[in-house]
Structure 1
C-alpha cells in the first residue's frame, strides 16, 4: 500500500461523518435554545412568583404523579406557560411540591406550597374527555393546571380545599376579583357528593 493509501481516510467515513456531526450540532443547538427559553420564562413568569414565595431548600422525598400537561397562569400577566416535561408534581399530605427536572433544575428551584396557601381548586373542561384540575394560589396570583388529573382532585378533597366555581375562578384570574372566603364553603366541604357536584359544574364553567 502506498504512503498516500495509508494516509487516505476511507470514503465511507468521509461520506457519513459530516451529516453525523451536523445532526449532533443541530440537536445540541435545539436543546440549548429550549433550555434558554424555559429559563427565561421561569425567571420572569408565574414560576418565578412561586419561587419567590414558596422556594424549597431541597426536593421532596416522594414520587411524582403522572401528569400529561402542566400549565401555569398568572393574574398579573396575559398568557399561559407550559412546563410539560420541565416540572414534576408531588402531592404530599400537607403541601404540593413542584420541582424542575434536569437540566432545567440548574436555573430553577423547587417549590413547596402548603395546603393553607391554596385558596381553592377548580376544573375546566375542553371537550372529548379533556379537562384540567386547577389549584388557585391567592398569594402569588397563580393558577396551576394539571391535565386530566384525578389525583389532584382527590388531594383537594382530602385536604378540604374549596371547589371554586368556574365563574369565580375566571373573575379572579382575569378581572382582579378576590376569591370567596373559605367560610362560605362549609356545606360543600361537609359532603363528597356536594363537592363532586360543584366540580362538575365548575368543569362546565359555572
Structure 2
C-alpha cells in the first residue's frame, strides 16, 4: 500500500482516496490493482504481462502507450549500483513514467513546478503510479534492494533522463517507511535521549 509524505510539513497520507486526491493536481494518478493469487513468486515476465493484460490494455488506450515490459531488480542484479545511479538524481523525461509494482517497494520523490514542497510516494505491491512527462523527480530503492514492476512506454525506445543542475535530491536522503519505520519522535520516546538510528 502506498504512503505519501511531505517532509517540509510533516504530513503523511496512507488512505488510498486521500493519496489519489493529493496527487491529482500534479497530474499523478495512483491505483490499487488486485494482486492476490494472480502470479506466483517465480512468474516470468511473460506470465506477469499476461496476468495483467486487461489493465495494461486499458492504460495503453487511455495514455497512448505502445509497449509494456517487466523490470526485475534484486541484490543479485549485475551493476545494480550503476543502474540505480541513473534514477537517484533529480531529472525529467519526455514521456510519462508508468510503474505497477508486483514485488518489492521503492520511493518516488517529486519536486513540483508550482513551488509546493517536495513530496515522496512509497510504492509497494499492488500500487500503480505515473510520473507525468516533464515532472522533476527521482527514485530510491528501499533497503531490500528489490522491486519488480510492469513498465509502460509511449515510445518503443523508452526515455532518457534529463538531469537537473543543482538538483534538490541532495537534500532528501533515501528512506522507506515500511512496517519497520520508526519516527524520530517515537524512537526518542521509546529510547530516551540517546542517539537514534533510523
Output the TM-score relative to the length of structure 1.
0.27
Q: Which structure has the larger Rg?
A: 1
Judging by fraction of residues, say which structure has more helix: 1
Q: Which has the higher contact order (CA 8 A, sep 6+)?
A: 2
